[in-house]
Amino acid sequence: MANKFLKRTGMALLALCLLFVFGYHCPIQTVTGIPCPGCNFTTALVFLARGNVKASLFYHAMVIPTLLVAVVSIALARQKNVLTWLWAGWAAAMLLYYIVRMVVVFPQIPLGFDENALLMRVFHLLWP
């Protein structure tokens, strides 16, 4: 059971590394123009890896709690009920953080609106 979890974790980390190498554009923001709850998470992770905690928290304050939840999840891999509640709590915190960011920060940096998004293009075609 733990071996399966470690394999999945390794595959997820490999996928993230490939995204760093080949670049990544948020599909939600690409279609709607509005940032998703995870927007700027990768940037925050890069700044955290470089040791710049202040910049990391500026781009996405949930990066550190997410890493802590991931580490605790690995340690508690066999306790499914605890993991369920842990990740449910994380999801609720992430959603609350997203709502606060959208009310307080959007559309200022780092949460910009993408004028070239698919829905914006369609909107401008239909209503010039």
In order, the DSSP letters of 61-84 are TTHHHHHHHHHHHHHTTT-HHHHH
Q: Are the C-beta atoms of residues 1 and 77 closer than 8 Å to each other? A: yes
Q: State the pLDDT at residue 12.
A: 79
Tokens 């959208």 sit on residue: 102
Q: Which tops the pLDDT comparison, 87 or 9?
A: 87
Please write the tens of the pLDDT for every residue from 95-112. 999 999 999 998 888 888
- pTM (2 d.p.): 0.74
Q: Does residue 9 register a pLDDT over 90? A: no
Q: Which residues contact 86 (CB under 8 A, 6 or more apart)?
A: 69, 72, 73, 76
Give per-residue pLDDT as tens, 16-73: 766 666 666 778 888 899 998 988 998 899 999 999 999 999 999 999 999 999 999 9
